[in-house]
Each structure stands twice: as C-alpha cells, then as structure tokens.
Amino acid sequence: MATVYLNHTEINVGGQFPVVGEYAHSFLLVDSGMIDVPLSRFAGKPKIIAVIPSIDSEIGLIIARQLDRLSADWPDCVILVISVDTPYALSRVIEQERFRRVQLLCTLRGRDFHKDYGVMITDIPLSGFMATALIGLNAYDIVMYSELVSDLSFEPDYGAMAECLFPPVEEESEPIIDDAEQIAKLERYEPNS
C-alpha cells in the first residue's frame, strides 16, 4: 500500500500502481455523454493519463488546464483526465473550459480502475476518491512513465513525463571517415551536371 499526503496528513492508497516497462491494464471508463470508453479506443497512439480526485477540485482543474496547454507540443498524443465525478460534472466543466484536446472521463462504470491503476484512496473521509497521478503509455500501451504524486494538492512533473514519453530526437551527424583513400575520392567527386 502506498502513502500520499494532504495537508501533512498521511493517506493510504491501495491497488497496483503501473510499473514502467509493463503493459497497462485495460479499462472501461465513461465520457460526459455517458458513453463507454475503453483503453482500446486509443490503440496505436501514445496516451497521457492524468488521474485526479475530482474535476471540481482546484488541483484537478489546474492539471486539466495545464495538460490542455501543453497538448500543442504533443499533437499525436491522446490526453485523458480521469476522476470519480459524474458525467454531468464532466459536461459542465467541458462547456466552461472549452478544452481543445483533453478528454475528461470518469469511473462511473469502471471502478476496477481505482485498484488496477493503484490510485484507490482507502482512508475515510476520502475513501472512494483517487489519488493524483500521471501515467504515460506508448502506442502499444506499455507504461513509459508513472508518477503517484506525493500530495493530493500538488501537480505532477509534466516535464519528466514528456521526456520519457517523447524523448528528444538526436540529429544525425555526418559519418566520420577515417580512411584517407575515401577522403581523397570525396574530394575528387564531381556531380554530373
């Protein structure tokens, strides 16, 4: 069992948190229109999964807004923000915020998500809510980044997640030629005009 904090108070979190290098658990969540959304809907695309206690919490809205701002840097990535809220709450926030790329989902019919993703708060009065987490999956649903945020009121490390999920591409450099004969051939080379 993991431990996180809220206002210096320990909170126990149950379930199996995703491990880097392993396949992510499948899930069935619900969108603002009460439509079931399985993980398989996003097959073949990298995914950022932000888990928040509630979209109506200050930190939940901050995380959703920040990911929507950052989404321009990740055009081929699916960004999911998951909470225990009702589809009605998700719909209200979507209308107010006008998110460009972030998709809000809830665990209305997917309560296994809490345990399968290791974010199930077990201590009263917050039992039933989920701890704050950020998980990055590649296009094959392999966990590339997983962070259980240490305090429910803190933001995750977006930069660390981006480095793991979208590593910088190194530019190809010119091959080093050691052979003097090949260097001479290159110096004498004249392209056909």
Q: Write the single-letter amino acid at 106.
A: C
Q: Would you state the pLDDT for residue 75?
A: 85
Q: How far is CA 184 from the centre of its chain?
A: 52
Euclidean distance between CA atoms 166 and 161, whole angstroms:
8
Q: What is the reported pLDDT for 164?
A: 86
Ranges of H-type helices in the chain: 58-70, 87-97, 112-116, 158-165, 180-188
User: Any bridge partners for residue 103, and if so which?
Assistant: 80
Each of the 193 residues of the chain gets a pLDDT tens digit; together they read 898 999 889 999 999 999 999 999 999 999 999 999 999 999 999 999 999 999 999 999 999 999 999 988 888 899 999 999 999 999 999 989 988 889 999 999 878 998 999 999 998 888 889 999 999 999 999 999 999 999 999 999 999 998 888 877 666 656 555 566 665 665 665 655 4
Task: Name which of 25, 186, 23 is nearest 119 in CA terms.
Answer: 25
Owner of token pair 């960004």: 79
CATH 1.25.40.10 fits 2-188, yes or no: no
Q: Give the separation between CA 83 and CA 80, rounded to whole angstroms.
A: 10
10: its two tokens: 């320990």
Q: Is the peptide bond before 125 cis (omega within 30 degrees of 0)?
A: yes
